[in-house]
Amino acid sequence: MLAWTPPGQNPVLWLSPLASFEPGVAVRGGVPVVFPWFGAGESGDRSPSHGFARTAAWQREEVVNELAASGPLLVRHRLDATGRDSAPFVAELTSRFTPERLEVTLTVTNPGAEPFRYEEALHTYVAVSDVAEVAVDGLDGCGYLDKVDGGPEEVVQAGAVRFAGEVDRVYRHDGDAVITDPGWGRQVVVGKSGSANTVIWNPGAAKGAALADVGPNWPGFVCVEAGNVRDAAIELAPGDQHSLAQVLRLS
């Protein structure tokens, strides 16, 4: 998913003007799907980073109301383990667009005979006027791992999350996050379900400039991601399924 812009508003999803659309390359922006591992995985040696789902060719299964001028638009895609070095799985991504909200749901089913353990995240790039001016509320008092400092101990969030440099954090957080953007005079509410973690990321000036598909555009987004990673990874019994959902709306 690459774009959602409510009527009369600035885009809610950010897409880098330097994004690559080549096969096998992750698109920088929108809502990439992190699956079946996060980063280098729980073992620390998985490749590619954040799993193969965000660079795979998903099969489009259904489009509802594709040509309507207004009203909901629903798009459903499917990915399975065929041809991949992975345990059996079926992943379904459902995106539902309305003028008021964007709903994204990743449902994973285990059709195999053994338990299937995986990590997942909806790597949502939210467009902002200037990341240095925004604040993310809703995580006060939540513990997080700071991937920038690299320390093994959790830190407890105090107040709103603000951005004065690179921020890369995995929070224990299952509630809503609210992005306040004074430059565009709006709040973006990121709600979720089936999620034990919220990941927040912006590369900052030095790392952003070094990323070929970000460059000088790094101040234009903040990633707020619903997920289940690290010790909150999902373990599906044979025949079971799990849904991770995220809802974006303006307030």
**Catalytic center residues:** 123, 225
Residues 6+ away with beta carbon under 8 Å from 158:
140, 141
Residue 89 · residue 241 · CB < 8 Å: no
Structure tokens at 16: 């880098």
Tally of CA atoms within 13 A in the half-sphere of 22 that contains its CB? 5
Q: Name the residue type at position 219.
A: P
Q: Which two tokens stand for residue 178?
A: 């609210």
One-letter amino acid of 94: T
Cα-based torsion angle of the residue sequence 48, 51, 53, 56 in order, rounded to the nearest 10 degrees: 10
Spatial separation of the C-alpha atoms in residues 39 and 50, rounded to whole Å: 4
- Distance (Å, rounded) from C-alpha 140 to C-alpha 158? 5
Tokens at 33, concatenated? 């799907």
Cα–Cα distance between 95 and 33 in angstroms, integer? 12
Q: Give the gyration radius of the chain's Cα atoms.
A: 18
